[in-house]
Amino acid sequence: MKILTANRLGDGEAVWFAKDQSWSETIEGAEIADDAAAEERLAAIGKAAFAANLVVDVDLVDVTLAGGAIVPVRLRERIRAAGPTNRSDLGKQARPGATV
């Protein structure tokens, strides 16, 4: 199971490709690819967004579902989705209503 992630060109904000076809600032609504064809489709979207100078550092990352929530497999990606673990006042985790 994979999702598509990148950093936005202008401000470097970590973003995820969402079900509504936008680049979302949170991981929650990310579109999940659960087969090879879907992964390929996401990869192509990432490549096109990179070429269109919307995002940089595009990557497909492994995730699992825990109680319906998307949880990246690697700690690196969990930290990207939440913010620095030593500063809960910073990053996505600090936003009002954040669940990560």
Partner 1 sequence: MYRYDEFDQEFVDARVAEFTDQVERRLAGEITEDQFRPLRLMNGVYLQLHAYMLRIAIPYGTLNARQMRMLAHIARKYDKGYGHFTTRQNIQFNWPALSDMPAILADLASVEMHAIQTSGNCIRNVTADHFAGAAADEVADPRPYAEILRQWSSVHPEFSYLPRKFKIAVTGAERDRAAIQVHDIGLHLKKNAAGELGFAVYVGGGQGRTPLIAKKIKDFLPEEHLLSYTTAIMRVYNLNGRRDNKYKARIKILVHETGTEEFARQVEAEWAELRDGELTLPEADIRAIDAYFAPPALPARTEGDAAVKEARLDSRTFAEWLDQNVITHKHPDYAAVTISLKPIGEAPGDASDGQMDAVANIAERYAFDEIRVSHEQNLILPYVARADLKAVYDALVEAGLATANSNLISDIIACPGLDYCALANARSISVAQDIALRVASLERQRDIGELKLKISGCINACGHHHVGHIGILGVEKKGAELYQVTLGGSGDEHTSIGEIVGRGFGPDEITDAIEKVVETYLALRKDKQERFLDAYRRVGPAPFKEALYAGEARAA
Q: Which residues contact 99 (CB under 8 A, 6 or more apart)?
A: 28, 69
Sheet holding 14-17, edge to edge: 23-24, 14-17, 2-8, 55-66, 69-72
Distant-in-sequence, close-in-space partners of 36: CB < 8 Å, separation ≥ 6: none
Instruction: Give yes or no for residue 85 binding partner 1 (CB under 8 A).
Output: yes
Q: How would you classify the pairing of strands 23-24 and 14-17? A: antiparallel
Using CB under 8 A as the binding rule, whether residue 29 contacts partner 1 is answered as no
Among the residue ranges 7-15, 22-30, 38-46, 63-71, the one whose residues contact partner 1 (CB under 8 A): 7-15
Residues 8-27: x where in contact with partner 1 by CB under 8 A, - otherwise, as a string: -xxxxxx-------------
Is 75 one of the binding residues for partner 1 (CB under 8 A)? yes
**Which residues in this chain contact partner 1 in the complex, by CB under 8 A?**
7, 9-14, 50, 52-53, 56-57, 73-76, 79-80, 83-87, 90-91
